[in-house]
Structure 1
């Protein structure tokens, strides 16, 4: 019995010794050295001055980031990574830090190669003509009407959460008397109506229509600061050009034009739950209401008396909000939101290439949507495979008092510095656009692209290539329409900005 006890204690001692030795080996050999985070010493920061910094770090100053600290962090991480060569995690961290400081970071070719090809096979997604691309998806009617306002136009559409009774939320403008501006809001759904085609056969015609009674969407009025030379604009009642979209936190937002605190007209934003209370009980994300009342978005440089067509987007890594004021031939201007509508100075890199080669009048047309460049379930959202997409209009005036808008698709990275990736090689038309031009006698001169959104709300901010988008259209300032298609079909026949 005594011998058995000795053998048991001996076995326990051997096991404990082996465990301690294993822990020592892990701590000395395998454990990587910690990467630098926020610890900076004066010698590290004094080694570099702003004038000695490489060009890709100089633009960080406008973002409120100390370039010297950023470079010191980059150097420390690089040294730590070299010393811990056996640590895969250390190497990955150094690579990510280095990538975040480069001013020209594109998605991997494996994700973007499809953008530069025209999907014209069987079945074709597009037909390429000399001056435009025809996407093989048909325009259908969007119907928003009330007893007071039987005709509306320029609809903006988003998909409601799965817990909602109806799939869509629609805001559409109405024509009041004189300059009076109002908008209707309703919840919408697909409606199939019988229709007799030109050959005498009854077929079903699908539209999107109001499932709830449309009501006027009220927004607090604001005064104009300065409308010198256009004094009549200061008295235009009501807001106009509403655009609704989801924020990165899942908050339903509306951006619109109204009299400005800084000029004549500016862009304002409000959380839709403040003015459409029924959303409060169905939106399960974005519980923090950042814009409980109207808030004007500022612009530090290049402000015009009348500002229009801003686009808001969010950094896929940090969640920070940005406002893109304009995008066109050789010009791009965006800034980071700093709170209460205030923004930083222009953050566009001086080395930015917008790859828009037409010296024309360009207008941002729609909000931006975030896209993961793979089919759902095939990959996870990462900085290397995530982009933003929005429509732009090329404005032409071929004849006096006639305006023509040609739609193009623009794509940019979803992480700083948000460089442009691709731009449509030709302007985009839809399969039955000719029919709509003849029906409403607009001849392509005013088929305006208003908004783009995911057709289904999956309680996430981004969507994937095999998911559908709904694109809303304003017809000649007197009617509503929309198109539904896989977003992949929209991203065809692009021109690469990298090789521009």
Structure 2
């Protein structure tokens, strides 16, 4: 009898446990760990996502397209372009000033953009066709016994914990089609020299503090160089541009043989190919670009792609690739993962405000600027912009190529509409001397990168901070200018029709 009662009690306990599990399952539904269909978030009313028709090559390279698409984060919802930041919501200050429902910086931050008056500021002189900024070009010395001639330097500032303030990557002139680049850490060097009046003065330059060494990256094959077959065998990468990501990772973008065409644009984390940076640069995800990764382009891809730049949403941190910016046309896409991108996300309401129909090239990377002096405001999505240099390429009757530099500025939050473009091209105080010094006819001083002079462990900079603008001189020399970023905004045309 006791055994029967014991069995009955055990049965009641089991039933009670099963009933409890049933109730718990009804109250708390677990998330599904697997789905049979991959769903993508909506990208916006002007953008419809589609996979490139050449994704087979991605699969051939061992990359799962579905896995890459799954990396698309949840911030890309249909109203991303007009969604206010949390700080703006709390402040209740959001005012739509554009048919794109975006957030321009407040007028108190941008009024000075549209001023172009002779003698103001004193650092600028306005002429009929160009703007002369009174800052001098100086030498960037990247040379050694093995590499006596380099050109097209790309410069960024290193963190304060570094031995030297700069990191420099420059191209090496090799024989034939051979492409090679070197890297070194740089610093300011003051050298005495006797000027034309017989006085000894100091000449300041940026030079390598460490011995330049070859910067090697993994090579890639070209998929299709039909009609330009010789390009498929060009050894080495070229046109390197180094810059900081929004998370603090040192990245390099460069041209190399493409998986989708003949030549494309690739990314790599510099810490993977220059290991000494790993101990000083601990911000940013090292495993994001541990080896070379190609950036895709869905619409309008050419056999040879050049001159991309990257920027980031100041509100969500999402990354974007801008392929081109020219008269009547702008094309940028959002990064999804593994180099895959969306289709064009430029709004049809966008006005590039580049009035002249000419040959325009994106020249440099883009930097993020807070539109006030340091300490006068806090960085907000609403008061930040991106700035880059564009080149207008001209071939006059002398057949000497000219590259004229212009500044372009756009909003740092979606939909990233342009707010200003240089009404005149920029020249520096002693640019004529440099053209004569290197016998460079046609003003062939090519703008390569723009970067903050000091690295304060933050992605953005302020109007009263200096930038380093690096330049290649006629494909056989290195130069740079250091100046306050504020003066780059002189003589700009507004995309909003302001005077």
Shorter-chain TM-score tier: 0.7 to 0.9
Query: Do the aligned partners of 1:186 and 1:210 also contact (CA within 8 Å) in 2?
Result: yes
Matched residue, 2:364: 366
Query: Do the aligned partners of 1:119 and 1:489 also contact (CA within 8 Å) in 2?
Result: no
**1:90-136 Cα distance to aligned partner (Å, 9 max, x none):** 97488759899944432111100011113654761210001100001
| Aligned alpha-carbon RMSD (Å) | 2.9
**1:383-410 Cα distance to aligned partner (Å, 9 max, x none):** 2210000000000111465211000000
Matched residue, 2:162: 164
After superposition, the Cα gap between the structure-2 partners of 1:211 and 1:72, relative to the gap in structure 1 and judged at 3 Å, is closer
> What is the TM-score of this pair, normalised by structure 2?
0.82
Matched residue, 1:53: none
Matched residue, 1:328: 326
1:146 is displaced (CA, Å) by 1.8
Gaps of 5+ in 1: 1-49, 51-55, 78-87
CA distance in 2, matches of 1:428, 1:326: 20
Matched residue, 1:386: 384
Trace 1:66-465 onto structure 2 (pairs within 5 A): 70=78, 92=90, 102-118=100-116, 120-121=118-119, 124-399=122-397, 401-465=399-463
1:251 is displaced (CA, Å) by 0.2
After superposition, the Cα gap between the structure-2 partners of 1:147 and 1:299, relative to the gap in structure 1 and judged at 3 Å, is same
Aligned residues: 435
Query: Do the aligned partners of 1:425 and 1:493 also contact (CA within 8 Å) in 2?
Result: yes
Query: Do the aligned partners of 2:400 and 2:442 also contact (CA within 8 Å) in 1?
Result: no
1:327 is displaced (CA, Å) by 0.1
CA distance in 2, matches of 1:90, 1:465: 22
1:147 is displaced (CA, Å) by 1.4
Query: Do the aligned partners of 1:139 and 1:482 also contact (CA within 8 Å) in 2?
Result: yes
* Corresponding residue to 2:46 among 38, 59, 63: 59
What is the SS of the residue equivalent to 2:401?
strand
CA distance in 2, matches of 1:417, 1:475: 36
Query: Do the aligned partners of 1:74 and 1:97 also contact (CA within 8 Å) in 2?
Result: no
After superposition, the Cα gap between the structure-2 partners of 1:329 and 1:89, relative to the gap in structure 1 and judged at 3 Å, is closer
CA distance in 1, matches of 2:225, 2:191: 48
1:444 is displaced (CA, Å) by 4.0
What is the SS of the residue equivalent to 1:398?
coil
Query: Do the aligned partners of 1:190 and 1:206 also contact (CA within 8 Å) in 2?
Result: yes
Gaps of 5+ in 2: 1-41, 51-71
Matched residue, 1:32: none
CA distance in 1, matches of 2:115, 2:397: 35
What is the SS of the residue equivalent to 1:355?
coil
Query: Do the aligned partners of 1:242 and 1:257 also contact (CA within 8 Å) in 2?
Result: yes
**1:61-104 Cα distance to aligned partner (Å, 9 max, x none):** 559999xx8579999x9xxxxxxxxxx99974887598999444
After superposition, the Cα gap between the structure-2 partners of 1:406 and 1:71, relative to the gap in structure 1 and judged at 3 Å, is closer
Query: Do the aligned partners of 1:119 and 1:125 also contact (CA within 8 Å) in 2?
Result: no
1:196 is displaced (CA, Å) by 1.0
Query: Do the aligned partners of 1:260 and 1:296 also contact (CA within 8 Å) in 2?
Result: yes
Q: Which moved more, 1:120-129 or 1:407-416?
A: 120-129
What is the SS of the residue equivalent to 1:422?
strand
1:284 is displaced (CA, Å) by 3.1
Is residue 498 from structure 1 mapped to residue 457 from structure 2 by the alignment? Answer: no
CA distance in 2, matches of 1:90, 1:250: 25
Matched residue, 1:33: none
What is the SS of the residue equivalent to 1:278?
helix
After superposition, the Cα gap between the structure-2 partners of 1:73 and 1:193, relative to the gap in structure 1 and judged at 3 Å, is closer
After superposition, the Cα gap between the structure-2 partners of 1:119 and 1:473, relative to the gap in structure 1 and judged at 3 Å, is farther
1:58 is displaced (CA, Å) by 2.2
What is the SS of the residue equivalent to 1:289?
helix
CA distance in 2, matches of 1:403, 1:471: 21
1:59 is displaced (CA, Å) by 1.8
**1:459-486 Cα distance to aligned partner (Å, 9 max, x none):** 0000000000000000000000000000
Trace 1:35-54 onto structure 2 (pairs within 5 A): none
CA distance in 1, matches of 2:347, 2:253: 26
Query: Do the aligned partners of 2:271 and 2:286 also contact (CA within 8 Å) in 1?
Result: no
**Larger fraction in helix:** 1
After superposition, the Cα gap between the structure-2 partners of 1:90 and 1:122, relative to the gap in structure 1 and judged at 3 Å, is closer
1:296 is displaced (CA, Å) by 0.3
CA distance in 2, matches of 1:403, 1:197: 32
CA distance in 1, matches of 2:184, 2:219: 21
After superposition, the Cα gap between the structure-2 partners of 1:288 and 1:481, relative to the gap in structure 1 and judged at 3 Å, is same
